[in-house]
Amino acid sequence: MTITPPRSGELPEFPIPRPSECPYRPSSDHVDLRDEGPMTKVRLYNGRTPWLVTGAAQARAVLSDYRRVSIRPYHGNYPLLNEEFEKVVDSGYADVLFGVDPPEHTKQRQMIMPRFSLRQTAKLRDDIQRIVDEKLDDMMRQGPPADLVTLFAQPVPSMVMSLLLGVPYEENEEFETPARKLFVPELAEEATAELGVYLDGLIQRKEENPGAGLTGLIDDLIVGQLHKGTITRDELVHIAMAMLVAGTDTTTNVISLGTLALLDTPGQWEALRDDPDLVGGAVEEILRYVSLVEAFARVATDDIDLDGGEIKAGEGILISCAGVNFDPALVSDPDVFDIRRPPRPSFSFSHGIHRCPGDNLARLELEVSFRTMAERMPGLRPAVPTEQLRSNNNDGTLQRLFEFPVVW
């Protein structure tokens, strides 16, 4: 197979908007691009022309090649998807974990992974179930119609991450408000500063009263890393910020969009309602089909040969989550949304050393959320037609619903 050569003057624009009538599914244009070859050139808003990877095998190779591929967003040709991302990078949000290469990344990841192991995550099941039940109780007390986003999809992940990090959820306005502003271009720097001030103050309180109140990953890092001099205070603040924001916004959007996909696709909600044990496969299919992240961005630091073609050192690379997740090499009949498929991981948590460290936790949250909704709200259905729901139609940031009124 050969790589599609650049087509001067007629490169497709990227990112690709989602159809407004179906916000939970990426545009079929991703698939059309892959039909031309597993990699092709695209044009971004700023005129840069990175490679877009849509083939599963090529994506796996690029995401695994940390010696010749960098995630750092400060390379000259790093493929930012829009001006919003420029503001986020300038704010310093990407200075840890998601924006650093080995050895910094290796060190930071090793610090946090004990809390995200499968065994440690499983210990949170009862707490997650309690949180999910509590939020569903609140919805049902309010009565239909109710907004699934604000009453359930947003607070559940926020409460779970607060528990894991050791952040008092009663202070949620102090971290949720700036977290929501972080991805608004003109507010990114202000939001980062506000969230940084809050987390720095929280760390100081924890240092002054060790073991008091809710404890979690932040407390682990204070004792095991900060006080031993292996990380700076600024690093700890940014790690906590990255975990708090990334661990809430993503799961929120998968819950709301995944619920819509289940309700909008004939027979899928009924299948889960009648057999809640399908939830494991349902979660994997939702993650694949929704493909929440538009693309994973990288820069080649050396020449890379792939399938007879070559990515030159310094060129930007985008791995299309939607294109790869809809590759027939990954799953048969990829255009069909079917929760009865045998569970098979997709690329939605990325791949290689930068694979999402919280994938075990996210899966558990999603499984408990979808199973419990199906059991407690078997008659759940949208209160308005899908095409009337407001979404961002994927402008390159995370795909999201702004509200999702439901009845039951």
Contact yes or no for 53/47 (Cβ under 8 A): no
Over residues 57-72, the mean pLDDT reads 95
Q: What is the pLDDT of residues 79-109, one digit of tens each?
A: 988 777 776 776 666 788 889 999 999 999 9
How is residue 268 written in tokens? 């899928």
Residue 6 falls inside a structural domain: no
Residue 348 falls inside a structural domain: yes
Q: Which domain holds residue 128?
A: 29-407
Residue 21 falls inside a structural domain: no
pLDDT for residue 179: 82
Residue 364 falls inside a structural domain: yes
CA distance 206 to 368: 31
What residues does 318 pair with on adjacent strands? Answer: 52, 297
Asked if residue 114 has a cis previous peptide bond (ω within 30° of 0), the answer is: no
Residue 373 falls inside a structural domain: yes
Contact yes or no for 70/213 (Cβ under 8 A): no
Residue 231 falls inside a structural domain: yes
- pLDDT classification of 1: cutoffs 50, 70, 90: very low
Residue 167 falls inside a structural domain: yes
Q: What is the pLDDT of residues 301-344, one digit of tens each?
A: 999 998 847 899 999 999 999 899 999 999 999 999 999 998 88
Residue 380 falls inside a structural domain: yes
CATH of the domain at 192: 1.10.630.10
Reply yes or no on whether the pLDDT at 76 is more than 90. no
Whether the model clears a pTM of 0.85, i.e. scores above it, the answer is yes
Specify which of 171-180, 206-215, 264-273 reaches the highest per-range mean pLDDT. Answer: 264-273
Tally of structural domains, the chain: 1
How is residue 205 written in tokens? 């309180």
Measured in whole angstroms, how far is the alpha carbon of residue 208 from the centre of its chain? Answer: 34
Over residues 32-41, the mean pLDDT reads 85
pLDDT for residue 7: 46
> How many CB atoms are located within 10 Å of the residue 256 CB?
29
pLDDT for residue 10: 82
